[in-house]
Homo-oligomer: A and B are copies of this chain.
Amino acid sequence: MVAEPGCAGTSTRQGPFADDCPSRVVLNHVANRWGTLIVTSLHEGPMRFHQLRDNIGGISEKMLSQSLRLLIRDGLIDRTVEPSTPPRVTYSLTPLGLELASPLRTLVDWITLRTDDIVAAQERYDRAQTA
Protein backbone atom coordinates (compact mmCIF):
# COMPACT_ATOMS: atom_id res chain seq x y z
CA MET A 1 0.00 0.00 0.00
CA VAL A 2 1.22 3.51 -0.81
CA ALA A 3 1.83 5.96 2.04
CA GLU A 4 -0.18 9.16 1.97
CA PRO A 5 1.59 12.48 2.51
CA GLY A 6 0.51 14.36 5.61
CA CYS A 7 -1.23 11.31 6.95
CA ALA A 8 1.33 8.75 8.08
CA GLY A 9 2.17 10.75 11.22
CA THR A 10 -1.29 10.70 12.73
CA SER A 11 -1.99 6.98 12.56
CA THR A 12 -0.32 3.64 11.97
CA ARG A 13 -3.14 2.86 9.53
CA GLN A 14 -2.71 3.80 5.91
CA GLY A 15 -4.96 5.00 3.12
CA PRO A 16 -8.71 4.45 3.56
CA PHE A 17 -8.10 2.33 6.71
CA ALA A 18 -7.26 5.55 8.57
CA ASP A 19 -10.34 7.55 9.47
CA ASP A 20 -8.31 10.79 9.58
CA CYS A 21 -6.88 10.49 6.03
CA PRO A 22 -8.29 12.16 2.89
CA SER A 23 -8.53 8.76 1.23
CA ARG A 24 -11.25 7.73 3.73
CA VAL A 25 -13.32 10.66 2.42
CA VAL A 26 -12.77 9.38 -1.12
CA LEU A 27 -13.76 5.86 -0.03
CA ASN A 28 -16.97 7.28 1.46
CA HIS A 29 -17.84 8.95 -1.88
CA VAL A 30 -17.21 5.95 -4.13
CA ALA A 31 -17.76 2.90 -1.91
CA ASN A 32 -21.51 3.31 -1.53
CA ARG A 33 -24.41 2.04 -3.60
CA TRP A 34 -25.03 5.32 -5.44
CA GLY A 35 -21.40 6.15 -6.24
CA THR A 36 -20.89 2.60 -7.50
CA LEU A 37 -24.04 2.61 -9.67
CA ILE A 38 -23.45 6.13 -11.08
CA VAL A 39 -19.83 5.44 -12.07
CA THR A 40 -20.74 2.02 -13.49
CA SER A 41 -23.62 3.57 -15.51
CA LEU A 42 -21.33 6.21 -17.02
CA HIS A 43 -18.83 3.49 -17.93
CA GLU A 44 -21.29 2.69 -20.78
CA GLY A 45 -20.95 6.27 -22.09
CA PRO A 46 -22.02 9.85 -21.29
CA MET A 47 -25.56 10.28 -19.93
CA ARG A 48 -28.03 13.01 -19.15
CA PHE A 49 -29.51 13.45 -15.67
CA HIS A 50 -32.83 11.75 -16.44
CA GLN A 51 -31.04 8.80 -18.09
CA LEU A 52 -28.97 8.23 -14.95
CA ARG A 53 -32.08 8.55 -12.78
CA ASP A 54 -33.97 6.01 -14.92
CA ASN A 55 -30.99 3.63 -15.05
CA ILE A 56 -30.56 3.46 -11.26
CA GLY A 57 -33.61 2.04 -9.51
CA GLY A 58 -34.70 3.81 -6.34
CA ILE A 59 -32.38 6.83 -6.52
CA SER A 60 -34.10 10.12 -5.74
CA GLU A 61 -33.31 13.22 -7.82
CA LYS A 62 -31.95 14.88 -4.68
CA MET A 63 -29.60 11.95 -3.93
CA LEU A 64 -28.48 11.78 -7.57
CA SER A 65 -27.73 15.54 -7.61
CA GLN A 66 -25.78 15.32 -4.34
CA SER A 67 -23.79 12.26 -5.44
CA LEU A 68 -22.99 13.81 -8.83
CA ARG A 69 -21.79 17.02 -7.17
CA LEU A 70 -19.41 15.07 -4.88
CA LEU A 71 -18.05 12.99 -7.78
CA ILE A 72 -17.61 16.10 -9.97
CA ARG A 73 -15.73 17.83 -7.12
CA ASP A 74 -13.55 14.69 -6.76
CA GLY A 75 -12.57 15.04 -10.44
CA LEU A 76 -14.18 11.70 -11.35
CA ILE A 77 -17.10 13.01 -13.42
CA ASP A 78 -17.33 15.87 -15.95
CA ARG A 79 -20.47 17.99 -16.30
CA THR A 80 -20.74 19.42 -19.82
CA VAL A 81 -23.25 22.13 -20.68
CA GLU A 82 -24.11 22.64 -24.36
CA PRO A 83 -25.28 26.23 -24.95
CA SER A 84 -28.59 25.25 -26.52
CA THR A 85 -32.11 26.33 -25.44
CA PRO A 86 -32.71 24.77 -22.98
CA PRO A 87 -29.06 24.03 -22.13
CA ARG A 88 -28.21 20.37 -22.63
CA VAL A 89 -26.28 18.96 -19.64
CA THR A 90 -24.32 15.72 -20.01
CA TYR A 91 -22.35 13.72 -17.44
CA SER A 92 -19.33 11.61 -18.35
CA LEU A 93 -16.35 9.96 -16.66
CA THR A 94 -13.05 11.85 -16.55
CA PRO A 95 -9.85 9.84 -17.23
CA LEU A 96 -9.56 9.46 -13.42
CA GLY A 97 -13.19 8.27 -13.20
CA LEU A 98 -12.56 5.82 -16.00
CA GLU A 99 -9.76 4.23 -13.94
CA LEU A 100 -12.13 3.91 -10.98
CA ALA A 101 -14.88 2.42 -13.13
CA SER A 102 -12.85 -0.71 -13.77
CA PRO A 103 -12.92 -2.22 -10.24
CA LEU A 104 -16.49 -0.95 -9.66
CA ARG A 105 -17.70 -2.58 -12.90
CA THR A 106 -15.98 -5.83 -11.82
CA LEU A 107 -17.74 -5.55 -8.45
CA VAL A 108 -21.20 -4.97 -10.00
CA ASP A 109 -20.74 -7.81 -12.50
CA TRP A 110 -19.54 -10.15 -9.73
CA ILE A 111 -22.58 -9.31 -7.57
CA THR A 112 -24.91 -9.92 -10.53
CA LEU A 113 -23.23 -13.26 -11.22
CA ARG A 114 -23.12 -14.43 -7.60
CA THR A 115 -26.41 -13.18 -6.14
CA ASP A 116 -27.99 -16.66 -6.37
CA ASP A 117 -25.13 -18.14 -4.33
CA ILE A 118 -25.42 -15.35 -1.77
CA VAL A 119 -29.21 -15.73 -1.46
CA ALA A 120 -28.69 -19.50 -0.98
CA ALA A 121 -26.16 -18.76 1.80
CA GLN A 122 -28.63 -16.37 3.47
CA GLU A 123 -31.31 -19.09 3.43
CA ARG A 124 -28.90 -21.66 4.93
CA TYR A 125 -27.94 -19.17 7.65
CA ASP A 126 -31.59 -18.38 8.49
CA ARG A 127 -32.49 -22.09 8.65
CA ALA A 128 -29.54 -22.74 10.99
CA GLN A 129 -30.62 -19.85 13.24
CA THR A 130 -34.19 -21.17 13.62
CA ALA A 131 -33.12 -24.85 13.94
Contact = CB atoms under 8 A, between A and B. Distances in A.
A112 B72 contact: no
Interface of A: 1-2, 4-5, 11, 13-24, 26-28, 30-33, 35-37, 41, 55-58, 72-76, 96, 99-100, 102-104, 106-122, 124-126
Which 7 residue pairs of A and B lie closest in terms of their CB atoms, listed nearest first?
Answer: A75-B121, A19-B58, A15-B112, A19-B57, A23-B115, A103-B106, A103-B107
B1 A121 contact: no
B103 A110 contact: yes
A21 B115 CA distance: 9
25 contacts: A2-B113, A4-B115, A4-B116, A5-B116, A11-B57, A13-B57, A15-B111, A15-B112, A16-B108, A17-B41, A20-B57, A22-B115, A23-B112, A26-B118, A32-B33, A72-B125, A73-B122, A73-B125, A74-B122, A96-B117, A96-B121, A100-B107, A102-B106, A103-B110, A107-B107
Given A13-B55, A33-B32, A107 B104 contact: yes
Counted per complex, copies of this chain come to 2
Counting chain B CB atoms within 10 Å of each CB, which of A36, A57, A111, A118 scores highest?
A: A111
